[in-house]
């Protein structure tokens, strides 16, 4: 494949990569830098085997670039108050029926998640749902589930407690579940009717 075609394919993922980088780094210029480094690494390397999608492969490269920045860059500590609204464990009680801890609203039937995961539209919907989360909640979720940072490292970076981290991750998962059920796995969702993204 001509180099120009490869460059065009890589460039088509720039906006997605930039959104992920900006969410984590909270700095436009730094996010642009790591995206540029990611695309340059992809162009100069020969690591793409075609076993995964190009987007997945690029996300893997970006992940390492972001983790490197997080580990070496000393930033101003986040104010604890910025997490206050996202760390209140008392609000979680409403999701369960007392006194047995059973779901008040159990998860919907998601059908065959593996089949859905193979659809590129699913990841577009996942991005859409992530963007609907509060900024700190989305940031913590991506650090843990996408960048795969250890809990201790996340707590140190964000200056939050392990309990705060648990609450934020729980909120993120519940919000993502609700968003995906409404927009993807639900009766009118794209997972069943293939309706376009909102």
Confirm whether 1-75 and 76-198 share one CATH topology.
no
pLDDT at 196: 42
For the chain, give every domain's residue range. Answer: 1-75, 76-198
CATH class for the region spanning 1-75: mainly alpha
Could you list the mean pLDDT of each consecutive 10-residue stretch along the chain, which spans 198 residues? Answer: 67 87 84 92 74 81 86 55 60 56 61 59 78 86 86 87 92 90 68 44
Q: Is there a contact between 152 and 97 (Cβ–Cβ < 8 Å)?
A: no
pLDDT at 147: 81
Q: What does the angle CA 181 – CA 170 – CA 141 come to, to the nearest 5 degrees?
A: 85
pLDDT at 27: 83
For residues 161 and 152, give the distance between their C-alpha atoms in angstroms, rounded to a whole number.
Answer: 9
Question: How many residues can be counted in the chain?
Answer: 198
Protein fold of 76-198:
Butyryl-CoA Dehydrogenase, subunit A; domain 3 (1.20.140)
pTM given for the model? 0.55
Q: Which DSSP helix (H) or strand (E) runs through 102?
A: strand 102-103
Joined together, the tokens standing for residue 177 give: 């579940």
Q: Find the distance separating the first CA and the last CA of the chain, reported in whole Å.
A: 34
């Amino acid at each position: 494949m001509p180099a120009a075609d490869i460059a065009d394919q890589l460039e088509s993922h720039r906006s997605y990569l930039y959104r992920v980088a900006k969410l984590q780094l909270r700095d436009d210029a730094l996010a642009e830098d790591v995206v540029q480094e990611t695309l340059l690494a992809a162009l100069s390397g020969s690591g793409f085997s075609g076993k995964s999608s190009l987007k997945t492969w690029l996300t893997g490269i970006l992940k390492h670039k972001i983790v490197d920045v997080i580990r070496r860059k000393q930033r101003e500590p986040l104010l604890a108050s910025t997490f206050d609204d996202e760390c209140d464990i008392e609000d979680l009680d409403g999701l369960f029926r007392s006194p047995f801890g059973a779901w008040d609203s159990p998860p919907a039937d998601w059908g065959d998640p593996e089949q859905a995961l193979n659809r590129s539209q699913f990841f577009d919907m996942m991005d859409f749902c992530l963007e609907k989360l509060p900024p700190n909640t989305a940031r913590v979720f991506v650090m843990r589930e996408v960048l795969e940072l250890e809990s201790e490292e996340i707590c140190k970076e964000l200056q939050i407690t392990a309990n705060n981290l648990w609450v934020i991750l729980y909120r993120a998962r519940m919000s993502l579940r609700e968003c995906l059920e409404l927009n993807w796995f639900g009766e009118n969702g794209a997972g069943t009717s293939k309706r376009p993204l909102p």
